[in-house]
Amino acid sequence: MPAATLFLGIETSCDETAAAVVALSADGRAEIRSNAVLSQIEEHAAFGGVVPEIAARAHVEALDGIIRAALADAGATLADIDGVAATAGPGLIGGLIVGLVTARAIAAATGKTLVPVNHLEGHALSPRLIAAIDFPYLLLLVSGGHTQIVAVEGVGRYRRMASTIEDALGEAFDKTAKLLGLPYPGGPALEIAAQTGDSDRFALPRPMKGEARPDFSFSGLKTAVRQAATAIAPLTEQDIADLAASFQKAAADAVADRVARALDRFLAEHPGSKRPTLVIAGGVAANKALRAALEETAAKGGFTLVAPPLALCTDNAAMIAWAGLERFRAGLLPANPFALEARPRWPLDEAAAPLYGAGRKGAKA
């Protein structure tokens, strides 16, 4: 049997420095040989958010070592690799340049194939790395920088069905956590606080609920939490837990309502779908209340919910290596990959209307 095709992936678009080796066997099976991720959370914690300049410098310092670790974990050398895929956008420009230039240098020095990858395409194709999921399927991407529903029709064929009109969901979690005095990063801290809270104590809005277009909005919800908190200040531990739980429930409800719309629309557009699948990705996919709400929504709509393991939901380089491999296998490579520059903004669906709010400004927007 011919040997597997091996790709090295590099991801530096935000605050994770990551490298991975992924293999595609001759019979079409994917295998993650290594998946090294170095989070910069500690370096940004004091500032309450990602600082682009600090992120870029940290990538410069860490990337060589992370690539070496990924190769060593996979038991491979650069000579064994068939191609190098690196995130070229969207994201923070400094970090993107560090990753892309490194990939270019490796490809130029070794003569291997270079594939600049769209970070969102990495998320979109990541479920196919762990399961035999056929096109088309529906993807809900919920992270600190992105909140989108995308119909994944094929490699390189993505249709954005919905997006946030202002804050990303993770951003709404982070900002709400901050106003409740919870530590950074806010999302996981808010989920923990919510465990001891009463999710029915505060009547919070479900933005966009019932609207025909499946887009998202979270800033009104965040403001409602602020008003409720101001009205009862100073907050006790229990108040904080109740506000966190009420926010989390409202956010999960609002997302589930938007997703339900998209499921209906997807089925109307793909009447032949035998096993319709909804995939979730992005850091907020870790949230158990959200997962439970989506589980119920998917079941009601006749969809199977696929939640990749967390290490593949959050930012990682295995998904970038895999997107490179999918493009390589499909013969969808750019004519001159060395001429492609890093792009801070790079919509997955170039035909879609431009986003007028794309989450956190700069970072991954």
Which CB, 121 or 315, lies closer to Zn ion? Answer: 315
Query: Is residue 156 a contact partner of residue 125, using CB atoms and an 8 Å limit?
Result: no
Query: Is residue 344 a contact partner of residue 362, using CB atoms and an 8 Å limit?
Result: yes
Residue among 92, 252, 62, 268 at smallest CA distance from 172: 252
239 touching Zn ion, by CB under 5 A: no
Indicate the burial class of 302 (C-beta count within 10 angstroms; 0-12, 13-18, 19 or more): exposed
Which CB, 100 or 193, lies closer to ligand KG4? Answer: 193
11 touching ligand KG4, by CB under 6 A: no
| Least distance between ligand KG4 and beta carbon 111 (Å) | 33
Where does this chain touch ligand KG4 (CB under 6 A) — which range of 186-194, 230-238, 320-328, 339-347? 186-194
Which CB, 33 or 360, lies closer to ligand KG4? Answer: 360
CA end-to-end span of the chain, whole Å?
43
Of the residues 167, 174, 257, 315, which one makes contact with Zn ion according to CB under 5 A: 315
Q: How far is CA 12 from CA 24, 90, 237, 247, in A?
A: 23, 10, 37, 31
* Per-residue x/- track, 74-113, Zn ion (CB under 5 A): ----------------------------------------
186 touching ligand KG4, by CB under 6 A: yes
Write out the binding residues for Zn ion, residues 135-164 only, by CB under 5 A. 143
- Helix%, strand%, coil% for the chain, nearest 5: 45, 20, 35
191 touching Zn ion, by CB under 5 A: no
Q: Which residues contact 29 (CB under 8 A, 6 or more apart)?
A: none
Sign of CA dihedral 94, 107, 77, 4: positive
* Per-residue x/- track, 94-133, ligand KG4 (CB under 6 A): ----------------------------------------
Residue 173 contacts which entry, ligand KG4, Zn ion, none (Cβ below 5-8 A, type-dependent): ligand KG4
* Per-residue x/- track, 144-173, ligand KG4 (CB under 6 A): xx------------------------x--x
What amino acid occupies position 103? Answer: A
Task: Read off the tokens for 288.
Answer: 């158990």
d(CA 168, CA 144): 6
Residue 347 contacts which entry, Zn ion, ligand KG4, none (Cβ below 5-8 A, type-dependent): none
Residue 283 contacts which entry, Zn ion, ligand KG4, none (Cβ below 5-8 A, type-dependent): ligand KG4
* Per-residue x/- track, 36-75, ligand KG4 (CB under 6 A): ----------------------------------------
89 touching ligand KG4, by CB under 6 A: no
191 touching ligand KG4, by CB under 6 A: yes
Count of alpha carbons within 13 Å of 150, Cβ hemisphere only? 30
Query: Is residue 177 a contact partner of residue 222, using CB atoms and an 8 Å limit?
Result: no
308 touching ligand KG4, by CB under 6 A: no
Of the residues 48, 156, 188, 362, which one makes contact with ligand KG4 according to CB under 6 A: 188
Tell me the β-bridge partners of 89: 118
Write out the binding residues for ligand KG4, residues 275-304 only, by CB under 6 A. 282-284, 286-287
Strand segments (E) across the chain? 5-11, 16-24, 30-39, 83-89, 113-118, 137-142, 147-154, 157-163, 277-281, 304-306
Of the residues 280, 315, 318, 337, which one makes contact with ligand KG4 according to CB under 6 A: 315
Which residues contact ligand KG4 by CB under 6 A?
A: 14, 143-145, 170, 173-174, 185-188, 191, 282-284, 286-287, 314-315, 364
